[in-house]
Amino acid sequence: VKDMIKSFKEIIERAREIGPKNLAVAVAQDSDVLNAVNNAYRMGIVNGILVGNEREIRSIAEENDIDLSNFEILDVEDKVEACNEAAKLVRDGKAEMLMKGFVDTSIILKAVLNKEHKLTGEGILSHVGVLKVEGFDKLFVMSDAAMNIAPTLEEKVFIVRNAVKVARALGIDNPKVAILSCVEKVNPKIQSTVDAAKLVEMNKNGEITGCIIGGPFALDNAVSIEAAKHKGINDPVAGNADVLITPNLESGNMLNKSMEYFARAEKAGIIMGAKAPIVLTSRASSEESKLNSIALAVLSAC
Q: Considering the rule CB under 8 A, would residue 85 count as an interface residue with its own copies?
A: no
CB 269 within 8 A of CB 130: yes
Q: Considering the rule CB under 8 A, would residue 254 count as an interface residue with its own copies?
A: yes
Nearer to its own copies, 19 or 216 (CB): 216
CB of 244 to its own copies, least distance (A): 9
CB 268 within 8 A of CB 45: no
Helix (H) or strand (E) holding 154, with range, is helix 153-169
Sign of the CA dihedral 155, 86, 32, 15? positive
Q: Which residue stretch of 13-21, 62-70, 215-223, 293-301 sits at the interface with its own copies (rule: CB under 8 A)?
A: 215-223
The length of the chain, given as a count of residues: 302
CB of 58 to its own copies, least distance (A): 27
CB 242 within 8 A of CB 132: no
Residue 137 per-residue DSSP state: S
Q: Considering the rule CB under 8 A, would residue 271 count as an interface residue with its own copies?
A: no
Distance (Å, whole) CA 51 – CA 80: 11
Q: Considering the rule CB under 8 A, would residue 219 count as an interface residue with its own copies?
A: yes
Distance (Å, whole) CA 228 – CA 235: 9
Contact string (CB under 8 A) for its own copies, positions 159-198, x = contact: ---------------------xxxx-----xx-x------
CB of 118 to its own copies, least distance (A): 28
Return residues touching its own copies (CB under 8 A).
133, 135, 149, 180-183, 189-190, 192, 218-220, 223-224, 226-227, 230-231, 246-255, 257-265, 282-284
